[in-house]
Amino acid sequence: MHMMVLNPEKWVEPMADAGADQYTFHIEATDKPTETIKKIKDAGMKVGIGVKPKTPVESVFPFVEDVDMILIMTVEPGFGGQSFMEDMMPKVQALRAKYRSLDIEVDGGLSPTTIHKAAEAGANMIVSGSAVVKSDNPKQVMDNMRGCVREWIMKSTLER
């Protein structure tokens, strides 16, 4: 679950009861990130923290060791079909350089024409909505994007 809500700690139990196995909240949405992380873990879910474009990536550094994934928004949250914000890739690069094994997700404007930028920056989890559902061949689009990310993962593994 990617929860773009204020006070995300209020929704942990309902989402766990609904069967969610991962709960991603936005760092900007709570004054209690440590408590929210604990609550999510206590509910038996993996933890993700999302970061909006105008929020410095350093805001999540104190919590990285306690979570499973960091989500970098590559559009302003709110609606689908927005253009990919390539200027968010330094955030992905900073996370990847500092935390080599961290799952880093990107969400917003990802398509076959932008996926390589996210993969090369170090993202290994991709959210793509419009590019997939508006495609004449969603399977081909998904296969293409998966292949691009897998290629980066293989290349970066060999470079280590």
pLDDT digits (tens, 9 = 90+) for 14-69: 999 999 999 999 999 999 999 999 999 999 999 999 999 999 999 999 999 999 99
When pLDDT is cut at 50, 70 and 90, the band that residue 80 belongs to is: confident
Does residue 110 have a pLDDT over 70? yes
Please indicate whether residue 79 or residue 45 has the higher confidence score (pLDDT): 45
Average pLDDT over residues 72-97: 92
Read off the DSSP letter of residue 148: H
56-85 average pLDDT score: 93
Residues spanned by the domain of 120: 2-159
For residue 60, what is the domain's CATH number? 3.20.20.70
Q: How confident is the model at residue 149 (pLDDT cuts 50, 70, 90)?
A: confident
Name the average pLDDT for the chain. 93
Instruction: Please report, for residues 118, 132, 155, the alpha-carbon distance to residue 135 in angstroms, rounded to integers and kept in the order given.
Output: 20, 5, 28
Buried b (16+ CB within 10 A) or exposed e, 40-75: bbebebebbbbbbeebebeebeebeeebbbbbbbbb
Q: What is the mean pLDDT of residues 138-159?
A: 86
Q: What is the DSSP letter of 84?
A: P
Q: What is the pLDDT of residue 140?
A: 93
Please determine, for residue 77, whether its predicted confidence score (pLDDT) is greater than 80: yes
Q: By the 8 A CB rule, do 126 and 105 touch?
A: yes
Grade residue 148 by pLDDT with cuts at 50, 70 and 90: confident
Domains identified in the chain, total number: 1
